Amino acid sequence: MSLRLFVSRDAGAIAVGADEVALALVQAAATRGVAIEIVRTGSRGMYWLEPLVEVATPQGRIAFGPVTEADVPSLLDALASNTPHLLRLGATDEIPWLKRQTRLTFARCGVIDPRSLDDYRAHGGYKGFERAVSLGPDAILNEVTASGLRGRGGAGFPTGIKWKTVAQAKADRKFIVCNADEGDSGTFADRMIMEGDPFLVIEGMTIAGLTVGATEGYIYIRSEYPHAVEAMNAAIAAAKRGGYLGDKIGGSTSSFDLEVRVGAGAYVCGEETSLLESLEGRRGIVRAKPPLPAHHGLFGKPTVINNVLSFAAAPFILAEGAKAYADFGMGRSRGTMPIQLAGNIRHGGLFETAFGATLGELVDDIGGGTFTGRPVRAVQVGGPLGAYFPRALFDTPFDYEAFAARDGLIGHGGIVVFDDSVDMRKQARFAMEFCAIESCGKCTPCRIGSTRGVETIEKIINGERVAENLALVEDLCNTMKFGSLCALGGFTPYPVLSALKHFREDFVPAPSTLQAAE
């Protein structure tokens, strides 16, 4: 009987040697005359354990990690003789970090072969689609609305309302657009699901198409994600072969087709109207709203544009019912959020859980603090446009409204951890610099304000008229916040103002420090 092994093909696992480990396993097995089969899955999301090697046993999968090429011979010996191994982590499903999660969207990620439509179907894939076909558009809308699902890209707009608006619009063509321009540092959930369970994204978009009467869709993936592009293209081809894309999909009377488009390194294209411009082949210049994309979107037609994770949540909601999803969460944040723990963190990775866990639980308890072993000083939540939170705010529950109440945002769910060596002046400067690099240039507060922001923060760093320049930065931030056309200029003040507010000591050195520096 051959050994069945699982090694991730996720970009994050490949970056730390998963391909080399898979190759070494094949070679070592061949020299020993052991028959093995290696399934290249997505990642389980426990990146400190990658490359993770799992082996199928009658009692379920057993995990080993992190495995290097050098560990491969001893690992095969241990498997052949059924003896203990230093890297043995036990049953994968029993690993506490995984067991504590509520994996609704990421249930299959790391489990199935992302290239296999059969594997997807064998693990409950297309159940949501089948129920959606039997329900019809009105009932689907009711389900999605009742689930409480809100846009997972960051804005948190109710998905059901967005879909309903497009469903009610009259037009000869409508579009479904998936925003996979996941540019926020500290986020990788879109990449993981596209690489680890791409059919889920296709199924979610197909359900949206059925609901609003759209027959064409685009997935706009950033060029920094070549593995995700490859995975989505392979899945689209397989879905077409399997009759799940094209005419009369999945035995229904509806048609739906999909195409991947690749971005070209512009962060602002993650903003939905800029993305639509880019898809149309133009500069990614933000459009003024209204008109909303739901009325006047891609090529001027009614368009559902959602984040990858919003589409990826739809199949569960349809398959298991709105209540099963809405039962998780707190307040107006229903369901689960795939949270991404990143930066200087011991146990970094993807942790999907119901809304409501506190920031402290996520960073200290689940994330295990920093990998440098130094104290956590600041965490940036929600990407480059998210606020920096100090330890004093670690009781904030992960929830759209709770973060907003503390002048922050959860954005796309990324948490970047910094230890006590961080210089918050540098981080504030970088926020402005990044905005200056990535501004589309349409509105003045963002285009000019960001550059003036960099200059003024530099003056503060150089000790020039600090109090005066601090007041100037705060004033500038208010102008950007209220005068910018989109979230790039509008939210860049979040990291800057939060750094100023919570880490004031970095900007205004205490007199004793000044003396010491002289």
Partner 1 sequence: MTAAFEPWNETRGAEIIAEHANQEGATLVILHAIQEAFGYVPEAAIPMVAQALNLSRAEVHGVFTFYHDFRHKPAGRHVLKLCRAEACQAAGGDVLAARAEAKLGVSLGSTTPDHRVTLEPIYCLGLCATAPSAMLDGRLIGRLDQNRLDALVAEAQR
Binding residues vs partner 1 (CB under 8 A)? 11-12, 14-16, 47-48, 50, 182-188, 191, 223-226, 261-267, 278-284, 299, 340-345, 348-350, 371, 380, 384, 414, 416-419, 422, 427, 430, 434, 437-438, 440
Reported for 92-99, long-range contacts at CB under 8 A and 24+ positions apart, including other chains, are 92/44, 92/54, 92/60, 92/61, 92/62, 92/63, 93/60, 93/61, 95/46, 95/63, 97/46, 97/347, 97/349, 97/351, 97/366, 98/44, 98/45, 98/46
Orientation angle between helical segments 424-438 and 444-461, nearest 10 degrees: 150
Query: Among candidates 508, 220, 498, 221, which has minimal Cα distance to 384?
Result: 498
Q: Which is nearer to partner 1, 43 or 159 (by Cβ)?
A: 43
62-to-82, 88, 274, 352, 394 alpha-carbon distances in Å: 12, 8, 45, 21, 35
The span from the CA of 73 to the CA of 473, in Å, is: 59
Q: To 10 degrees, the CA torsion angle through 183, 188, 193, 195?
A: 90
Q: How far is the CB of 67 from partner 1 (least distance, A)?
A: 14
Residue (12 or 156) nearer to partner 1, CB: 12
Tokens of 2: 């051959």
- Smallest distance from partner 1 to CB 472, Å: 24
User: Distance between terminal CA atoms of the chain?
Assistant: 74
CB of 135 or CB of 461, closer to partner 1: 461
Distance CA 21, CA 13 (A): 10
Q: Which residues contact 422 (CB under 8 A, 6 or more apart)?
A: 377, 378
Q: CB 47 → partner 1: shortest distance, Å?
A: 4
> Where is 242: in which H helix or E strand?
none
Both tokens of 296, joined, read 């006047």
Nearer of residues 385 and 476 to partner 1, judged by Cβ: 385
CA angle, 204 then 208 then 212, to 5°: 175
Q: How far is the CB of 274 from partner 1 (least distance, A)?
A: 10
Closest approach of Cβ 4 to partner 1, in Å? Answer: 26
Q: How far is the CB of 171 from partner 1 (least distance, A)?
A: 16
226 or 375: whose CB is closer to partner 1?
A: 226
Tell me: cis bond preceding 493? Omega within 30 of 0 counts: no
How many angstroms separate the CA atoms of 57 and 62, rounded?
7
Smallest distance from partner 1 to CB 106, Å = 14
If the CB atoms of residues 143 and 271 are measured against partner 1, the closer one turns out to be 271
CB-CB contact of 45 with 29 (8 Å): no
Q: C-beta of 147: minimal distance to partner 1 in Å?
A: 27
Q: Which two tokens stand for residue 303?
A: 């368009």
Residue (183 or 250) nearer to partner 1, CB: 183
Tokens of 287: 């459009």
- CB-wise, 168 or 421, nearer to partner 1? 421
By beta-carbon proximity to partner 1, the closer residue of 279 and 318 is: 279
Taking the complex as a whole, the smallest distance from the CB of residue 196 to partner 1 amounts, in Å, to 13
Q: Which is nearer to partner 1, 203 or 230 (CB)?
A: 230
Q: What six digits make up the tokens of 395?
A: 């009781």
> Which residue lies nearer to partner 1 by CB, 349 or 408?
349
Per the omega criterion (within 30 degrees of 0), is the bond before 291 cis? Answer: yes
Q: Are 276 and 303 in contact (CB under 8 A)?
A: yes
Q: How far apart are CA 294 and CA 306, in angstroms?
A: 11
Complex with partner 1: residue 263 or 445, whichever CB lies closer = 263
CB of 460 to partner 1, least distance (A): 19
From the CB of 185, what's the least distance to partner 1, in Å? 3
Structure letter (DSSP) for residue 295: T
Report in angstroms how near the CB of residue 471 gets to partner 1 at its nearest.
Answer: 26
Residues 192 and 109: their CA atoms lie apart, in Å, by 8
